[in-house]
Amino acid sequence: MLNRTVILSRFLKSDVIARCSRIARVLFRRHLFLTNAGISMSLSGVGDVFQQHYEIIQGDKEKWDPVRTWHMSLSGLTVGVICHHWYIQLDRFIPGRSIKAVTKKVIADQILCSPVCISAIFITLGLLEKAKPQAIMEELAQKGWRLYVAEWIVWPPAQVINFYLLPTRFRVLYDNTISLGYDIYTSYVKHEIPLEVVDR
């Protein structure tokens, strides 16, 4: 009878693993931009589906709204494009994986990229919903800070792992894997927290 080590060794040398490895090389090297954009778009949509089904279970919604999910997916696409280019430039300007370099990258990511991504979410959704620029800015001002506070809780420890262990090409994939819970929260903030009426 074969032991586990022999079985694992044969599996790792199998055609299935070889094919998966070839596909991964194509996706994460030759078509990295499309891969990152697609991952971000898909998981943002999945996060909204989860949030909407929770709202249905809670009795806050009657049925799933596919247009809302499509809009959240497109906002994820926008963020994916930004993050793809951001990580490449960040590694160019702050090279290496030393503690000092990783710390600088985490701080730069939180102070520079996070506000841009949060703004991109609200601006993209506002444009898709045909909201007026003033309404988009009001929503960003009232709700954006909630997402930014959540970012400071979630992302610094997650990004230490990202910047220290992972090659640049896998960073958006890692981000989106961690971000699924954050995407659910983003959908909640956007659609469930009412705007305060501002007197003019």
**Structure-token pair, residue 87:** 């990580």
86 in any annotated domain: yes
What amino acid occupies position 56? I
User: Does residue 200 form part of some domain?
Assistant: no
Assess whether 24 and 53 both reside in one domain. no
Same-domain pairing of 129 and 139:
yes
186 inside domain = yes
165 shares a domain with 141:
yes
Number of domains present in the structure of the chain: 2
- Residue closest to 102 by CA, chosen among 183, 163, 38: 163
| Encoded tokens for 10 | 């044969």
The residue among 150, 109, 154, 112 whose CA lies nearest residue 101 is 109
Give the domain extent around 12: 1-30
The whole-number pLDDT of residue 104 equals: 97
Do 55 and 18 have their domain in common?
Answer: no
Query: Do 117 and 41 belong to one domain?
Result: yes
* Straight-line distance from the first to the last Cα atom of the chain, in angstroms, rounded to the nearest whole number: 80
pTM: 0.81
pLDDT value at residue 2: 53
* Same-domain status, 6 and 103: no
- pLDDT for 10 beyond 70: no
Residue 99 lies in a domain: yes
Over residues 136-161, mean pLDDT: 92
181 within a domain of the structure (yes/no): yes
Q: pLDDT tens digit string along 39-94?
A: 999 999 999 999 999 999 988 888 999 999 999 999 999 999 999 999 999 999 99
Backbone angles phi, psi at 182, to 5 degrees: -65, -35
Are 92 and 151 contained in the same domain? yes
**Residue 146 located in a structural domain:** yes
Same domain, 19 and 81: no
CA nearest neighbour of 120 among 158, 82, 176: 82
The answer on 156 and 67 residing in a single domain is yes
Q: Do both 17 and 86 map to the same domain?
A: no
Q: Cα separation of 72 and 121, whole Å? A: 8
Which tokens is 107 given?
């701080």
The tens digit of pLDDT for each residue in 97-134 reads 999 999 999 999 999 999 999 999 999 999 999 999 99
Instruction: Check whether residue 3 and residue 62 sit in a common domain.
Output: no
Residues 74 and 43 in one domain: yes
Say if residues 121 and 79 touch (Cβ distance below 8 Å). Answer: yes
